[in-house]
Amino acid sequence: MNKFIDNVDAFFITKSEKIEFNKVKRDNQIFSDYPVLTYELFLENKSVIKQTIQIGYEDYDVEYNPKFLAFYEFLDNLVRTP
C-alpha cells in the first residue's frame, strides 16, 4: 500500500516525478483510442484535485517516465483483476 501512496504523491500531489520526459511532434498523425487516467483527490470530503491524463497523443511521440508506466500497469492490473 505504501508504494501506491508514494506513487500517487510523486506523480499527482507533489509532482516530484515527471510523467512525461520528452514530447516530439510527429510528421504524421496516428489515430487511435488512447487510454485515459482520471483521478480525483478529496480532503475532508471535498474534491481538491481532479485531472485527466491521456496516455499517448495523435500528434506526438512521447517518452514516459518508466516509473509512471510501471505505476500505470499496476493500476491497469488492479481494475482488470476479478
* pLDDT for residue 32: 81
Grid cell for residue 62: 512521447
* In the chain, where the domains are located: 2-80
Q: Pick from 70, 67, 40, 69: which is nearest to 52 by CA?
A: 40
CB of 8 closer than 8 Å to CB of 51: no
Mean pLDDT of successive 10-residue stretches along the chain, which has 82 residues: 89 93 89 86 89 88 95 88 70
Q: What is the dihedral of CA 54, 9, 17, 58, to 10 degrees?
A: 0
DSSP string, 41-82: EEETTEEEEEEEEESS-SSEEEEE-HHHHHHHHHHHHHHH--
